[in-house]
Chains A and B, each alone.
Chain A
Amino acid sequence: ETGVTQTPRHLVMGMTNKKSLKCEQHLGHNAMYWYKQSAKKPLELMFVYSLEERVENNSVPSRFSPECPNSSHLFLHLHTLQPEDSALYLCASSQDLLEQDTQYFGPGTRLTVL
C-alpha cells in the first residue's frame, strides 16, 4: 500500500464517547499533520509533528489529543467532543518540515458528533 491512508473513513460518535483516528504514511516522510475541514470553511491546521515530536499546536481544544508513536503513524484521540467538531479530518505528510515542502494528504475521516 502506498501514500497516506486514514482509518476509519467515516465515524459517528456521541459526545461522551472516546475514539481515535489513525493515519499511516508509506512515503518515508518525516513530518505529519492533522487538518480539520468544516463545511464551507478552509482547511485548518491543527497539529504538526516532525520526527515524532509535536512542533505546532494551533490552539486546538484539549478534547483533541494527538499521538505520533513513530514517523509513519499519527493518531488523533477524541473525547467528549461537541457537535460543532463534526467535520472532515485530514492527515497529511511531507518529506521534512520545510516551508516549501509539498504535503500529501490522506482521504480523510468524515466525523459526525451527535
Chain B
Amino acid sequence: DQQVKQNSPSLSVQEGRISILNCDYTNSMFDYFLWYKKYPAEGPTFLISISSIKDKNEDGRFTVFLNKSAKHLSLHIVPSQPGDSAVYFCAASATNTGNQFYFGTGTSLTVIP
C-alpha cells in the first residue's frame, strides 16, 4: 500500500502565477519530508525539505507547508516560471525506519509562457 500519495498526475499553470503541488501520507511516524524535481532524461534533484518540527520552510520561490494533523504537505512555487516545468516527487521518511524514503508517483508541472 502506498504510504505517500500524489493524487494529481499533472498540473498546468500560467507563467507568473502560483503553482501548488500536493502530497498526502498515511504513516504518522513520518517526520522528514522532501521534494525532488525531475527533468526528462535526468535523475531527481533535491529541491526543498521540511522536518516535522516545522510547518513551513521557504527557499526563494519555493515554500513547503506541512499540516501534520491532516498528513498533508504542499509545495508552492511563486512566481512560476517555464523552467519549473518538470515532474515533482514528494518523499517522506521516519526516524525509526532508518534511511528508507517513501516516494509519491510524481506530479508533472507545466508552466505555460
Contacts and interface: CB of A to CB of B under 8 A. Distances in A.
Interface of A: 4, 6, 9, 31, 40-43, 45, 48, 55-56, 90-92, 94, 97-108
Contacts of A103: 46, 101
B51 interface: yes
Contact of B99 (A31, A40, A104): A31
B100 A45 contact: yes
Nearest to A99: B95
Given A4-B43, A102-B46, A107-B43, A42 B99 contact: no
B59 interface: no
Interface in B64-113: 89, 91, 93-95, 97-106
Contacts of B103: 42-43
Contacts of B100: 45, 56
Contacts of B95: 99
B99 A105 contact: no
A101 B43 contact: no
A106 B41 CA distance: 10
B98 A105 contact: no
